[in-house]
Amino acid sequence: MRAFSKRAVKEFYRRLAATRPIPQTELEFINPFTLLVAVVLSAQATDTGVNKATPALFALADTPKKMLALGEERLVELIRTIGLFRTKARNLMALSRILVEQHDGEVPRDRAALEALPGVGRKTANVVLNVAFGEPTIAVDTHIFRVANRTGLAPGKTPLAVELALEACTPVEYKRYAHHWLILHGRYVCKARKPDCPDCVIADLCRYAAKTGPAELIAAQALTEAIPSPAKSARLRANRQAPRSRVSSPRGRSSGRV
């Protein structure tokens, strides 16, 4: 697979940035601790599923001390709808105890300290460092791993290899939000089963050989300088799917769309 040039990488991120100038995590949280809890809960679960459970949880326990006071059994009841809830409950109680005893109840702004917490690996630490503290870290999940390999932006056989490749190639001005742009692109456009190539803003840069959709639409997208708004994109998708009919206009001319 042909490697991206520095110019192509910059253009890749410029286009993703244009679609979402200031992207945000889709996990709901209140403070660094609740963010940490939400990310731990999101392992092998969807953000949507986590967001359904956490409002009630965070209303009762938005600090490590309150989490310990809540108790493991009550925590289990509140997160029962999330996969691996018992293991996650044990980890959350254990990490809350460590935060109280070793970090004065605060989430540390340090990778090693975060990874020492039960249930927290490199990906979770990267998310917390990026979202809570603004560090330019890139947390490689399944979406980012797929996008990096499929597009050829930063291929690698392991999440760590992809992370290091992304850190090496991503321009400094885009590192702060690179994680979010890549994950959202993978979640909503460069999907696992059938990527939406005709509606992809980086289709002409992408090295993926088996692009989906009519070739003329992909070519047209490549020639478009302006990034379409979400509303325009929705209309384009609707127009591609809707049958065409002809009706008379008020001036007696026929219109190609309804």
145: left (phi over 0), alpha (psi -120 to 50) or beta: alpha
| CB-CB contact of 124 with 151 (8 Å) | no
How far is residue 117's CA from residue 67's CA, in Å, rounded to a whole number? 15
Q: Is-contact 185 147, C-beta < 8 A?
A: yes
DSSP 226: S
* Residues with catalytic function: 123, 141
**What are 142's two structure tokens?**
């399944």
Q: Which helix or strand (DSSP H or E) is residue 254 part of?
A: strand 254-255
Q: HEC string of 43-95?
A: CCCCHHHHHHHHHHHHHHCCCHHHHHHHCHHHHHHHCCCCCCHHHHHHHHHHH
